[in-house]
Structure 1
Amino acid sequence: MADGFPLLLTTTASLDELNARIAADHPDDPRKGAALPMERFRPNLVVSGTAPWAEDGWRRIRVGGLEFRVAKPCGRCVVTTTDQETGERRGPEPLRALGRHHRFGQKLVFGQNLVPVRPPGPPRCWGRWRSATGWSCWRRRRRRCRTAADRRRPAPTRRRGAARPRRQPRAPGTTPGPGR
């Protein structure tokens, strides 16, 4: 589960490389050298079929029809030393291995934080729903969603501070015409 950015991406090849280095650091102790599951790092997206640490050089990634920008490497904290199923701390790994083998400056990193890229052009409505106050839009909740038919008509404009136009009173006994 990503906490600082919308998405966290990791690769299986990087985890395999990290597990190999942990096992090499602890050849005599099978408990300390045990392989770590991907759940320890809480990713949203896991990519396979890449070279180890390939995600460190990525700037953009496309998943289906969505494009994401790599914001920054994900600095890891002490939560990665906790077994997610039991809640028990399992020693200094993976932080010790990341500190020895995969450090950027002062940060121990594993994975990349992603931000969605907004498609070019005007913002589009992602969906409409009917509320008590009328139609609304997922993207712009406070403004009315403009459909293709709405875009053909210019939006009404009024100068700031200008008085609203007054409605003309109807003559008694008349009915409103079409469109009123």
Structure 2
Amino acid sequence: MANCYDDVVNENLDACINSEIQAGVSEVGVYYGVHSQITTFPMPLSPGDVGYTFETAVTVTEDIVFAAGKGFGKITVQSDMGEVKVSAPGNKGNKKSKSSFDFYIPGNSKKLLGFIRTFKNVPMVYCVTERDGQKRLIGDKFNPAYMSEVEGTTGKGGEDDKGIQFTIEAYSLPIVYEGVIQEPVVVP
């Protein structure tokens, strides 16, 4: 019986310890999209595909395309309060990929509360720009992202944060997205 990984080439996982590795997400590069509004959702290569490498296994270079007039909405998150995580839950020999995005939005405006009411159970995709400029997708073509935790506070005192903490989760790797961010057509 052939192993589906017989033709995969082993690659070195080098790291330069003197590189400046920026941690965190950009507070101005976070986007969300409604999964059902996407008409073209490219996926990374799989083992056995021509050109498969460790990098092409998690990279999408083609654009995500939305239906006419639709696109990614922008979210401004509080600085130093966002993080993308990847984990491999499940039992030995049956691991899965899971990604999550934790972020904080200051305030509790009507628009922000309406966003929660509107999308709390809706399949979504989030595009998160890291501080080094690399974009990550939370959710993919077959595994959309969902709000798993949402908790807001008015704060107790003058120096407290007032806002809403979000955790978004998807059972997929956080894909590196090199395509264009399609924004919706805004009608005045």
TM-score band w.r.t. shorter chain: under 0.3
Normalising to structure 1: TM-score of the pair? 0.22
* Rg larger in structure: 1
Pick the structure with more strand per residue: 2
Pick the structure with more helix per residue: 1
Normalising to structure 2: TM-score of the pair? 0.21
Greater relative contact order (CA < 8 Å, ≥ 6 in sequence): 2
